[in-house]
């Protein structure tokens, strides 16, 4: 359990100093305070704050109170026979009954009955467990958020794979593989050309990432002339990209690197991949 977090967020210490905890909970906090100096320090701070707050609401009592009070009191340095300890013994029952509610500090040598000790232990355990659960809950929340993101990512990639599979599986599709030319031999692009409606989609398997002001452009070669098939989004990884529909009877597909937005005619020196139909 993170003690600092417990101090700042549990609210238990505030309830303790406000006097709103029940007796067992109070004892639990006292046990914790003896184990953790940070808790002791925080309790002191809270108590001093409240003390100062109460002093803002001071009202001077009538002078008669002090006189009446001290007339009823006897002191060690004045009259030994009537020390307050004897007084307490005489009125033990009433005094004790009153004090069970009134005071928070049990006598140092007081022996707790076994159930008392057990209940204190239970309270402390509960507090510790609450603190731990709180931390745990936070961790779980984080983990949960991470998992949600991961699941979303997996779903998206799954969808892409599904699209890709569908593209391969579709019997109407003619698949043309464009292979890397000398400029980048490792390059590879797959074209899916739907023979029914001439729609074209492509999947970049491997192409060097273009500069910010450059873009790849797809071409068909129809009757020996290049025909523009559209530019390829630079964010092409792992995607099935829809291109323009084929017109006429292309002999080959090719991709060149052009300025962003594409060119009316291909820059042949910058041709990366080509595949014959």
Partner 1 sequence: MATKTTKYSEEELIASLKRNQRDAFEYLYDNYSAALFGSVCRYIPDEEKSADLLQEIFLKIWKNIGKYDSSKGRLFTWMMNITRNTCIDLLRKEKGKYHVDVQDNIIQVDAKTHHQPNVSVMDLREILEKLRPERKVLLDLVYLQGYTQEEAAEQLAIPLGTAKSRIRVALKELKIYFEV
Rounded to a whole number of angstroms, the minimum distance from the CB of residue 97 to partner 1 is 11
Instruction: For partner 1, give the closer residue by CB, 14 or 228.
Output: 14
Instruction: For partner 1, give the closer residue by CB, 11 or 113.
Output: 11
Say whether residue 104 binds partner 1 (CB under 8 A).
yes
Using N-to-C axis directions, what is the helix angle for 23-35 and 114-169, rounded to 10°? Answer: 80
Which of 1, 14, 134, 234 is close enough to bind partner 1 by CB under 8 A?
A: 14
Say whether residue 105 binds partner 1 (CB under 8 A).
yes
Q: Which of 34, 19, 14, 12 is nearest to 103 (CA)?
A: 19
Report d(CA 104, CA 87) in Å as an integer: 21
H or E segment at 101?
helix 92-102
Say whether residue 49 binds partner 1 (CB under 8 A).
yes
Say whether residue 7 binds partner 1 (CB under 8 A).
no
Instruction: For partner 1, give the closer residue by CB, 79 or 235.
Output: 79
Say whether residue 70 binds partner 1 (CB under 8 A).
yes
- Tell me whether residue 27 is exposed, middle or buried, using C-beta atoms within 10 angstroms of its C-beta: 0 to 12, 13 to 18, 19 or more: buried
Q: What length does the chain have?
A: 277
Q: Please check whether residue 133 is in contact with residue 210, taking contact to mean a CB–CB distance below 8 angstroms.
A: no
Say whether residue 61 binds partner 1 (CB under 8 A).
yes
Tokens 């017109």 — which residue? 247
Which of 2, 35, 83, 146 is close enough to bind partner 1 by CB under 8 A?
A: 83
Q: And the tokens for 28?
A: 């639990």
Rounded to a whole number of angstroms, the minimum distance from the CB of residue 93 to partner 1 is 13
Report d(CA 26, CA 136) in Å as an integer: 24
Which of 18, 153, 166, 211 is close enough to bind partner 1 by CB under 8 A?
A: 18
Contacts of 147 (CB under 8 A, 6+ apart): none
Which of 4, 5, 37, 84 is close enough to bind partner 1 by CB under 8 A?
A: 84
Binding site for partner 1 (CB under 8 A): 11, 14-15, 17-20, 30, 34, 43-62, 64-66, 68-70, 72-73, 75-78, 83-85, 87-88, 95, 98-99, 101-108
């Amino acid at each position: 359990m993170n003690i600092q977090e417990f101090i700042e967020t549990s609210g238990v210490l505030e309830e303790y100093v406000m006097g709103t905890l029940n007796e067992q909970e109070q004892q639990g906090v006292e046990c914790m305070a003896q184990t953790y100096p940070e808790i002791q320090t925080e309790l002191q701070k809270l108590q001093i704050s409240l003390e100062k707050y109460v002093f803002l609401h001071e009202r001077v009592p009538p002078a008669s109170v002090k006189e009446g009070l001290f007339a009823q009191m006897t002191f060690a340095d004045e009259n030994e026979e009537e020390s307050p300890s004897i007084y307490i013994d005489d009125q033990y029952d009433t005094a004790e009954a009153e004090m069970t509610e009134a005071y928070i500090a049990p006598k140092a040598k007081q022996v707790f009955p076994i159930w008392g000790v057990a209940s204190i232990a239970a309270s402390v355990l509960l507090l510790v467990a609450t603190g731990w659960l709180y931390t745990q809950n936070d961790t779980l929340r984080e983990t949960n958020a991470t998992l949600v993101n991961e699941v979303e990512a997996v779903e998206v990639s799954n969808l892409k794979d599904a699209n890709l599979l569908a593209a391969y599986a579709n019997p109407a599709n003619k698949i043309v593989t464009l292979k890397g030319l000398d400029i980048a031999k490792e390059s590879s692009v797959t074209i899916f050309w739907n023979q029914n409606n001439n729609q074209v989609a492509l999947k970049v398997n491997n192409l060097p990432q273009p500069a910010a002001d450059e873009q790849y452009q797809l071409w068909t070669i129809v009757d020996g002339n290049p025909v523009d098939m559209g530019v390829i989004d630079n964010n092409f990884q792992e995607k099935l990209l829809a291109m323009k529909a084929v017109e006429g009877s292309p002999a080959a597909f090719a991709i060149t690197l052009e300025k962003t937005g594409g060119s009316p005619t291909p820059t042949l020196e910058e041709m990366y991949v080509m595949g014959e139909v």
